[in-house]
Amino acid sequence: MIGAIGSIIMCFIVSAVFASIAIGILTTLIGVLHLRDFPRASWGSISQALIFHQVRKYLLLLDPRKEHVKFWRPQMLLLVSNPRSAINLIDFVNDMKKGGLFILGHVKINTTNEDSNDICSQETPYWISLIDHMKIKAFVDMTSAPTIRDGVIQLIRLAGLGILIKY
């Protein structure tokens, strides 16, 4: 308030004529807008927004495809080498995610040209049983790569975070 009054006083100090004309024009404009009856814009109500939010939430619960990772943007990507030694870390990330989903990732180093699907598919049931035993909600993604760096890049892309990678 004091700043606005100071600005008006400065306008009168610089040029009293132009300040009087500007204040007159603004007063006339405010009067015209106040006295003229413009049709009111309907912006909706907060109750409609809340109902929309609830309906959307319950419709998502009905979607049977929502369990697949590509329909969600996980909040956490946890890379674990040994699940037995990382149980406390997995539990900690589960507590941190606050109801969101996260991906539990693992990279198998495979320097040979043998079928990498067999290596990952043999271990995936053990990781899933660990998640079931711990009673957490997480996706398991395993990949086979010649180096850990390449495997981590693959897992980041699988998690939908590929835009964050800089080479």
What pairs with residue 108 in β-bridges?
A: 144
Asked if residue 153 and residue 82 are part of one domain, the reply reads yes
CATH of the domain at 75: 3.40.50.620
For 83-106, write each residue's pLDDT tens digit. Answer: 778 888 888 888 887 656 678 888
Inside any domain, residue 89: yes
Q: How many domains does the structure of the chain reveal?
A: 2
What SS3 state is found at 101?
coil
Asked if residue 27 and residue 75 are part of one domain, the reply reads no
Asked if residue 96 and residue 21 are part of one domain, the reply reads no
Asked if residue 82 and residue 30 are part of one domain, the reply reads no
Is 60 exceeded by the pLDDT of residue 63? no
CA distance 108 to 124: 11
Phi, psi of 108 (to 5 degrees): -100, 125
Is 70 exceeded by the pLDDT of residue 70? no
Rounded average pLDDT over 122-148: 85
Asked if residue 160 and residue 93 are part of one domain, the reply reads yes
Is 90 exceeded by the pLDDT of residue 125? no
Q: What is the DSSP string of 17-32?
A: HHHHHHHHHHHHHHHH
- What pLDDT score was predicted for residue 24? 93
- Cα angle 53, 55, 61 (rounded to 5 degrees) comes to 105
Structure tokens at 81: 């080498």
CA distance 115 to 166: 29
pTM of the model: 0.49
Is 80 exceeded by the pLDDT of residue 65? no
148, 109 contact by CB (below 8 A):
yes
Residue span of the structural domain in which 145 resides: 70-164
Inside any domain, residue 63: no
Inside any domain, residue 75: yes
What pairs with residue 77 in β-bridges?
A: 103
Asked if residue 31 and residue 74 are part of one domain, the reply reads no
Inside any domain, residue 53: no
